[in-house]
A = this chain, B = another copy of it.
Amino acid sequence: MKLSGGVEWALHCCVVLTTATEPVPAARLAELHDVSGSYLAKQLQALSRAGLVTSVQGNAGGYVLTRAPELITILDVVEAVDGAQPTFVCTEIRQRGPLAAAQEACTRPCPIARAMAGADAAWRAALQATSIADLAGGVDDDYGPTALAGIRTWLTGPDEGGTATGERG
């Protein structure tokens, strides 16, 4: 029951993208987070397929949020990256074995499936209650507006460093 690791990267990228008005390449986001650019690209592709970000190709290309940050919930990102399948899938074992329940009596999910579905709904409701804008606001509350402003500046800073940056790989 562990969430895919790429979800964290995707969420951070979405928060970062709130500060940017121009497209941001995947490589730049990977450098900012110090993670594998090749793998991060996969997560961004998932976001693109889900319609959360728009991909712009070409020289000044990259990714841009398609909607206002207040209209993108954490649930959207989670489902885009990790898939929208429910946490619990009932295999209807009550209809199997020597004492299988009659199929006519199985129009409703079994109590176990109902309880698990309720918990799943609670989880998703909590994820849907928080938007990317809320996350960005939380960063401002914790670190002050200078943090996101610095990221915005760094994103626009085009070719700073070059070989002088501390590449340790």
Number of copies: 2
Tell me whether A154 is interfacial, beta carbon within 8 Å. Answer: yes
Beta-carbon contact of A12 and B78 below 8 Å: no
Q: When the two chains form their complex, are residues B119 and A126 in contact, meaning their CB atoms are under 8 A apart?
A: yes
Q: Is A9 an interface residue (CB 8 A)?
A: yes
Residues of chain A having any CB pair with chain B under 8 Å: 1-5, 7-9, 11-12, 15, 31-35, 74, 78, 82-83, 85, 87-91, 93-94, 96-99, 101, 105, 108, 110-112, 114-116, 118-120, 122-127, 130, 134-135, 137-139, 142-143, 147, 150-151, 154, 161, 165
Instruction: Give 4 new A-B contacts, CB below 8 A, not counting A111-B139, A119-B123.
Output: A8-B88, A35-B93, A74-B112, A120-B123
